């Protein structure tokens, strides 16, 4: 059933339920959220059995379990190739002795410093983050809110939710409420209905956003009852959280389709993770695959220095390199904004390769994705085309030359052919 949508992965790593220990489970059970939750993988012994872990590794997982909660749904687990110790899905979700719990911060984004009410972080001028649960159906090892798995500061009770709503009511500058967790779509539908209804009743809140990984980790959750609740309280935007093209299964595609059919615009936030998706081909397949299911890549996050996830972090330069490889090379809609969330509560800071190379009076020198450079006449200045061949950036800045282009580039070879053909045509005596 859950064969990946992506066609260009070799068949050997197309893993799914058909290859898994659950191949004989009736489809009606498999697609039932209650069955999935009843069969969560959550003990070191079961993990050991499924992945052939040596006793030492099982003991390490048992130790980690005391520190941080973990659980994996059979659906999500079925995407793991158990024969590959470096499997990206495994790296993302399975606790392991690679986790150094001496390293990293409990609250890397200092969300508590801006916490104004239970679960409510007010950091930016016109929008708030509202954490309504600490529960997820599977737990990512790089999660920035791991602290909540132990001592939750989410708004859990009715009282806490009402306190947060009272804050929203009192703050007219808040026009956008981002509901997150934990995973808000794991809440009982009545509770989500209550929260959304209360927020919608605040006159100055223009719309709500929900961040959820359920379309990825338990797509069968996106059922009729939940859809009815979401439909009642629009406009809602949903940002989901795909990290690897292998997660683009038929089930995940169907969940996104159900949401999109309600008119809910879908975005995606990806975390850049070492040994999981820090490779250009993988990211391209992920982002292009998302567009096929009508999900627009929104942010690519630098992995934050959260406790126990140092082995999953890349360098910021790696992120820059990957952004450089995406912009211009593929559909602009498939290119998210790369952001670093500054520790100490600085918020999201966009990081982009620099396309301005130099500047002179009335001119800037820009480079494009192919490595060509152009002298751009700035607004309000005299446009002069000086198409003298040059290899000097200074000539571009002063306007003495117009461009420097890479030699032997297929794009320019094609352009030269086109020019040649046009000349031939113009010279035609007919
Ligand atoms: C990410 C975030 C938001 C939303 O930011 P956008 O750039 O508008 O998507 C709001 N509040 C907090 C605390 C956040 O971390
Ligand atoms: S789904 Fe989101 S909130 Fe839940 S563990 Fe993963 S990153 Fe954390």
Last residue of one domain, picked from the residues 333, 350, 367: 350
Is residue 3 situated within a structural domain? no
d(CA 60, CA 276): 22
**301 and 407 share a domain?**
no
**CA atoms of 154 and 151, how far apart (whole Å):** 9
- Number of other residues whose CB lies within 10 A of the CB of residue 400: 15
| DSSP codes joined into one string, 161-189 | HHHHHHHHHH-TT--EEEEESS-GGGS-H
Residue 429 has pLDDT above 70, yes or no: no
**Chain segment 148-175, per-residue pLDDT in tens:** 877 777 778 999 999 999 999 999 999 9
Residue 4 pairs with which residues in a beta bridge? 249
270 and 385 inside one domain: no
- Residue-level pLDDT at 428: 53
Ligand 2: which residue has its CA nearest to atom 3?
182
Same domain, 293 and 367: no
Catalytic residues: 123-124, 127, 136, 140, 143, 145, 304, 341, 348
**CB 144 less than 6 A from any atom of ligand 1:** no
Range from 60-69, 148-157, 186-195, 310-319 carrying the lowest mean pLDDT? 148-157
Ligand 1, atom 3: nearest CA belongs to which residue?
Answer: 129
363 lines ligand 1 (CB under 6 A): no
Please say if the pLDDT value at position 340 is more than 70. yes
**HEC profile of 230-295:** HHHCCCEEEEECCCCHHHCEHHHHHHHHHHHHCCCCEEEEEEECCCCCCCHHHHHHHHHHHHHCCE
Decide if 47 is inside a domain: yes
Sheet containing 363-367: order of strands: 356-360, 363-367, 373-377, 403-404
Q: Is 102 within a domain?
A: no
Roughly how many angstroms between the first and final C-alpha of the chain, as a whole number? 62
Last residue of a domain, one of 350, 385, 418: 350
Separation of alpha carbons 48 and 44, rounded Å: 6
* pLDDT in the model for residue 19: 86
Q: Can you tell me the mean pLDDT for 203-231?
A: 97
Q: What are the strands, taking DSSP E only, across 293-426?
A: 295-302, 337-342, 347-350, 356-360, 363-367, 373-377, 403-404
Query: Does residue 181 sit in the same domain as residue 317?
Result: yes
Cross-strand pairs, 167: none
> Would residue 5 count as lying in a domain?
no
Q: Give me 84's structure tokens.
A: 């590959």
What residues make up the domain containing 418? 356-426
Q: Which position has the token pair 């220990």?
A: 21
Is 107 inside any structural domain? Answer: no
DSSP state of 378: P
What is the Rg, in whole angstroms, of the alpha carbon atoms belonging to the chain?
A: 25
Atom of ligand 1 nearest to the CA of 129: 11
Q: Which atom of ligand 2 is nearest to the CA of 180?
A: 3
In a domain, 19, yes or no: yes
Cα(163) to centroid(ligand 2), Å: 24
CA–centroid distance, 430 to ligand 2, in Å, is 69
Return the pLDDT at 387: 75
Residue whose tokens read 């916490």: 115
- Say if residue 208 is in the same domain as residue 343: yes
CATH code: domain of residue 183? 3.20.20.70
Q: Which atom of ligand 1 is nearest to the CA of 176?
A: 8
CA dist 132 to 148, 150, 212, 425, Å? 11, 15, 12, 68
In a domain, 4, yes or no: no
Of 159 and 9, more confident? 159
Query: Is residue 401 lining ligand 2, measured as CB closer than 6 Å?
Result: no
**Separation between Cα atoms, residue 205 and residue 177, nearest integer Å:** 7
């Amino acid at each position: 059933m859950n064969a990946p949508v992506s066609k260009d992965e070799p068949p050997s790593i197309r893993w799914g339920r058909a290859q898994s220990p659950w191949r004989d489970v009736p489809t009606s059970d498999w697609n039932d959220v209650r069955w999935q939750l009843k069969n969560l993988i959550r003990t070191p012994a079961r993990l050991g059995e499924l992945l052939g872990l040596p006793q030492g590794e099982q003991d390490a997982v048992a130790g980690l379990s005391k520190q941080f909660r973990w659980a994996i749904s059979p659906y999500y687990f079925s995407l793991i190739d158990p024969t590959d110790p470096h499997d990206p899905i495994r790296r993302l979700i399975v606790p392991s002795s690679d986790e150094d719990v001496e390293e990293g911060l409990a609250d890397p984004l200092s969300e508590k410093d801006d916490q104004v009410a239970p679960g409510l972080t007010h950091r930016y001028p016109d929008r708030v983050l509202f954490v309504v649960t600490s529960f997820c159906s599977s737990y990512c090892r790089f999660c920035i809110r791991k602290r909540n798995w132990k001592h939750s500061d989410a708004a859990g009770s009715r009282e806490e939710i009402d306190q947060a709503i009272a804050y929203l009511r009192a703050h007219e500058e808040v026009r956008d409420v981002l509901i997150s967790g934990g995973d808000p779509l794991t809440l009982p539908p009545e509770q989500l209905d209550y929260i959304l209804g209360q927020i919608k009743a605040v006159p100055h809140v223009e719309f709500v956003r929900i961040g959820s990984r359920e379309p990825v980790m338990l797509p069968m959750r996106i059922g009729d009852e939940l859809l009815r609740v979401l439909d009642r309280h629009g406009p809602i935007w949903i940002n989901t959280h795909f990290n690897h093209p292998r997660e683009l299964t038929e089930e995940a595609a169907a969940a996104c389709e159900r949401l999109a059919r309600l008119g809910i615009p879908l975005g995606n936030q990806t975390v850049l993770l070492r040994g999981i998706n820090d490779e250009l081909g993988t990211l391209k397949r992920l982002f292009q695959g998302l567009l096929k299911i009508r999900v627009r890549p929104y942010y690519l996050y630098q992995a934050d220095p959260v406790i126990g996830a140092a082995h999953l972090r890349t360098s910021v330069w790696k992120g820059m390199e990957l952004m450089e490889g995406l912009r211009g090379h593929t559909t602009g809609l498939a290119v998210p904004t790369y952001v670093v969330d500054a520790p100490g509560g600085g918020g999201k800071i966009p990081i982009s390769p620099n396309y301005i190379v130099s500047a002179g009076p009335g001119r800037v020198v820009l480079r494009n994705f192919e490595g060509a450079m152009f002298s751009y006449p700035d607004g309000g200045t005299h446009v002069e085309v000086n198409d003298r061949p040059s290899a000097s950036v200074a000539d571009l800045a002063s306007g003495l030359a117009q461009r420097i282009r890479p030699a032997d580039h297929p794009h320019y070879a094609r352009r030269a052919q086109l020019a040649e053909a046009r000349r031939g045509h113009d010279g035609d005596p007919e």
